[in-house]
Amino acid sequence: MVTRMTTAARQPADNEVSTAARTALRVLTTVLMDDLDALADRLTLMVLRTEPSYAELSVSSPDALRENLKANIERGVQTLGGFIPEGVDPNDTSRETGRKRAREGVPLEAVLHAYRLGGQVIWEGLLSTSRERFRGRYDRELLDASGWGWRVIDAGSAALVDAYRLEESRLRSQELSRRHAFLNALLDGRGKDPTVAQEAATVLGLPTCGPMLCVVAPVDNPSDEPLRSPRDTLATHGLVSSWHVRPSDIVGLVALADRTPADVLDALRPSVCGRVGASPVITTLGKVGEAYTLARTAAKTLREPGVAFLDEHLPEALLVGSPELTGRLAQVAFGELLRLPEHERETLLTTLSAVIDNGCSPTRAAQQLYCHRNTVIYRLQRIESVTGRSVSNARDRLLFTLGLLAVRRPDTDGDRGATTKAR
């Protein structure tokens, strides 16, 4: 959808200028109509000399540029002299120029400058005609008409701006649609087709192959903004990326070049305001669909804003990917321990976590928990008696580790224990 933006400039009415001034303009513009080629040549040289972007256009289509400038001068002269054909929009050439220059990518500032130069050429042509052809007879009337004349030129300028912005908005919308279409094609796995991959790379501004990351930030509600200006943030580090805002998430593809995933994610952190997940490294656009699924899973392993690289959150990702098993895992790992009073349950789970984190050493766990070693040993005995499992058994220890991840998940049911707190 293209939003119409307008400068809302009014076309000045004829009765805003005196009869004598209007007569003078009609006489002078009649003469000037026979001198359009010379005026167009002069304006073309002025524009090419002062605006580099127009000089680039002239290289590819010099005749087209001159004809466009001439058409604008002609319509301006007709408008000032009151020669506009019936039913013709006096600003039609201005609007067409705005649309054309927007499509060509000429900066609006340059277009407006060229348009103003055109107004200058017309006005100087009127004054020169009065002095050279009529010995200054109409100089006073031109002075009286100057304010009105420049309002006419400003109205054309405003029409140009309106058309330029509308076309720019349309092109932006069209380009965004193309980018979304190719991203969706990659997410659907169609990037395995070399032709699709090449076209997608061109549209998205990415290489067709080489190390890449897929980054996903889920949008839980419309007001969420989990990532802010990620493209600009990465660009400051020389990283090329393409980002797409969708109803359910923000998706980014980042070319690593010679960087590591850690380098990229560190560079991205200033933009992170929510949960963000990153896939393992992929080397072709044909892998984007799989990478997207893994990156979204990585994001789901987080409970708070941050960045999760999937390879560093695999145990959590396994639980996220099997929600139907999470509750059962906690029950099998801890059994009756989950039904103990809340304070005792949390104390035992926190102690178990510290022991596992410290290589099953009660001494180091006690130092982390700021309690006596014997206290840790007593709590371990209590855990083993309630669960029937032992941290010295490798399989039980793995089950305890996964069980701790399960009970600490934000969607953990109350009867399986709340998130444990550090003691």
Q: Looking at the structure, do residues 50 and 94 belong to the same domain, yes or no?
A: yes
- The answer to whether residue 312 sits within a structural domain is yes
- The answer to whether residue 180 sits within a structural domain is no
Q: Looking at the structure, do residues 84 and 162 belong to the same domain, yes or no?
A: yes
Average pLDDT (192-201) is 91
Q: Looking at the structure, do residues 330 and 313 belong to the same domain, yes or no?
A: no
Q: Looking at the structure, do residues 30 and 152 belong to the same domain, yes or no?
A: yes
Q: Looking at the structure, do residues 137 and 19 belong to the same domain, yes or no?
A: yes
Q: Is pLDDT of 11 > 70?
A: no
Last residue of a domain, one of 277, 303, 320: 320
Report pLDDT for 415: 38
Number of domains the chain is built from: 3
Last residue of a domain, one of 288, 320, 352: 320
- The answer to whether residue 276 sits within a structural domain is yes
Confidence of residue 59 (pLDDT cuts 50, 70, 90): low
- The answer to whether residue 184 sits within a structural domain is no
- The answer to whether residue 175 sits within a structural domain is no
Q: Looking at the structure, do residues 275 and 372 belong to the same domain, yes or no?
A: no
Average pLDDT (50-78) is 86
Q: Mean pLDDT, the chain, as a whole number?
A: 88
Q: Looking at the structure, do residues 258 and 274 belong to the same domain, yes or no?
A: yes
Confidence of residue 303 (pLDDT cuts 50, 70, 90): confident
Q: What is the CATH number of the domain that holds 240?
A: 3.30.70
Q: Is pLDDT of 2 > 50?
A: no
The Cα 354–Cα 346 span in angstroms is 12
Q: Looking at the structure, do residues 200 and 253 belong to the same domain, yes or no?
A: yes
Average pLDDT (280-300) is 94
Report pLDDT for 269: 95
Report pLDDT for 316: 83
Lowest mean pLDDT among 70-74, 223-227, 252-256, 318-322: 318-322
Confidence of residue 53 (pLDDT cuts 50, 70, 90): confident
Q: Looking at the structure, do residues 227 and 82 belong to the same domain, yes or no?
A: no
Q: Which residues pair with 252 in a beta bridge?
A: 215, 243
Q: What is the CATH number of the domain that holds 336?
A: 1.10.10.2840
Q: Give the tens place of pLDDT for each residue, 117-142.
A: 999 999 999 999 999 999 999 999 99
The Cα 289–Cα 216 span in angstroms is 12
Q: Give the tens place of pLDDT for each residue, 70-121.
A: 999 999 999 999 888 888 899 999 999 999 999 988 999 999 999 999 999 9
Q: What is the CATH number of the domain that holds 137?
A: 1.10.490.10
Average pLDDT (170-188) is 87
Q: Looking at the structure, do residues 24 and 153 belong to the same domain, yes or no?
A: yes
Q: Looking at the structure, do residues 402 and 374 belong to the same domain, yes or no?
A: yes
Last residue of a domain, one of 134, 169, 204: 169
Question: Which residues contact residue 40 at a Cβ distance below 8 angstroms, ignoring those fewer than 6 apart?
Answer: 66, 67, 69, 70, 73
Report pLDDT for 12: 67
The rounded percent of the chain whose pLDDT value lies above 70 is 92
Whole domain around residue 391: which residue ranges?
323-416
- The answer to whether residue 5 sits within a structural domain is no
**The tokens 């002095």 sit on which residue?**
131
Q: Looking at the structure, do residues 48 and 156 belong to the same domain, yes or no?
A: yes
- The answer to whether residue 176 sits within a structural domain is no
- The answer to whether residue 186 sits within a structural domain is no
Confidence of residue 171 (pLDDT cuts 50, 70, 90): confident
